[in-house]
Amino acid sequence: MSGSCVPFQVGDLVKVTQMFPLGHNRTPRYIMGHTGEICQVVGEFANPEELAYGRKGFPKKMLYRVRFDQASIWPEYGGAPQDKLEIELYQHWLAPASNRGVKT
Amino acid sequence: MSIDHGHVHNHGPAAKDHDDSLTYWRAMEIALRELLIEKRIFSADAVRSAVEAMDSRTPENGARLVARAWIDPGFKARLLADGSTAAQEMGFEVGTLKLMVIENTSSVHNLVVCTLCSCYPRMLIGLPPTWYKSPAYRKRAVREPRAVLREFGTVIPDNVEVRVHDSTADLRYMILPLRPSGTEGWTEEQLVPLVTRDSLIGVTAARMPARS
């Protein structure tokens, strides 16, 4: 399943799509399948998955900063319960989510 | 005098040169560079001056932004809203990448890592330290940030949130550390040396002022 085309807003819950396209991408595996909250709509940027192969990067992709609870990413997380991780993710890697919760 | 210069000890093997291994990527870089120079796409002098420009960027550039933000609330607001424009306002040319400045507060301590490679605000503060590029830092900073911070001598109390920023895409992150106590009334010039490279990455706090 690929991500959503509908723009997200700050506060929206999103789930990072698990997909393993061949070639370059900027979504680390550790975050795939996890649900977080949009904390910033950064703007549109040339798609790095196209740029990496000398193409123009069009269509541009909306980039978001997404916030996750550390404890939801790492089952063995040893820090404080309020610790967070923020990461930049592109539109096509995100799907709407209705609730937080563990990776499915 | 004998050939062992008159005393007995063991010098051990000579230290290894840093550039003694012609790796695949190093050979590729040299081949590509020489080819492009030969084809007059750019000159050797242009390569040299690009390296020189990179080397001239130092963490002090970031320290200047931080010191200004500490004494000027208006500048601080602009720096947090749009790091690139605020940097340009102070005369720094930061190119097209977006500089994102994240503020440490009494309730949130921030830390920067690039798990995928070594994204870093090079356009402002130059090249990252070697440890920043190491697989160990890149893996551990996201999954056990408090343990990594402790190794830098930075102990964050449990009631303070640790927030890790994984720099995966088009933003380049710099931390605005907390202003150290005991610096009330200090000038910008006095504050600049308190802001270290590591405090801009978030692995340490800013330096405390020396006791007089």
CB contact under 8 A, B98 and A42: yes
CB contact under 8 A, A88 and B170: yes
Domain co-membership, B47 together with B91? no
A98 to chain B, closest Cα gap in Å:
24
Write out the residue range of the structural domain in which residue B41 sits: 24-55
- When mean pLDDT is compared across A26-30, B19-23, B27-31, B38-42, the lowest value belongs to B19-23
Burial zone of A1 (CB within 10 Å; 0-12 exposed, 13-18 middle, 19+ buried): exposed
Q: What does the pLDDT average to over B98-102?
A: 97
Whether pLDDT at A11 is above 70: yes
Inform me whether the C-beta atom of residue B146 falls under 8 Å from chain A C-beta atoms: yes
Tally of domains within chain B? 2
Per-residue pLDDT band for A20 (boundaries 50, 70, 90) equals confident
CB contact under 8 A, B164 and A86: yes
Whether pLDDT at B2 is above 50: no
- Which domains, and CATH codes, for chain A? 13-96 (2.30.30.50)
Domain co-membership, B170 together with B129? yes
Domain co-membership, B70 together with B137? yes
Q: What does the pLDDT average to over B103-124?
A: 97
Domain co-membership, B34 together with B67? no
pLDDT for res A1 = 45
Domain co-membership, B111 together with B44? no
Domain co-membership, B70 together with B159? yes
Which among A45, A48, A85 has the least Cβ separation from residue B142? A85
Query: How long, in residues, is chain B?
Result: 212
Q: Mean pLDDT score of chain A, rounded to an integer?
A: 91
Structural domain contains residue B41? yes
Which among A77, A82, A88 has the least Cβ separation from residue B171? A88
Instruction: Answer with the one of B16, B38, B55 that is the final residue of a domain.
Output: B55
Q: d(Cα A93, Cα A31) in Å, to the nearest integer?
A: 11
Instruction: Answer with the one of B55, B73, B95 that is the final residue of a domain.
Output: B55
Q: What is the DSSP letter of B11?
A: -
pLDDT for res B1 = 44
Burial zone of B171 (CB within 10 Å; 0-12 exposed, 13-18 middle, 19+ buried): buried
Whether pLDDT at A80 is above 60: yes
Q: Mean pLDDT score of chain B, rounded to an integer?
A: 93
Structural domain contains residue B1? no
Domain co-membership, B107 together with B195? yes
Q: What is the ipTM of this complex?
A: 0.93
Whether pLDDT at B53 is above 80: yes
Per-residue pLDDT band for B9 (boundaries 50, 70, 90) equals low
CB contact under 8 A, B158 and A80: yes
Inform me whether the C-beta atom of residue B162 falls under 8 Å from chain A C-beta atoms: yes
Structural domain contains residue B15? no
Structural domain contains residue B112? yes
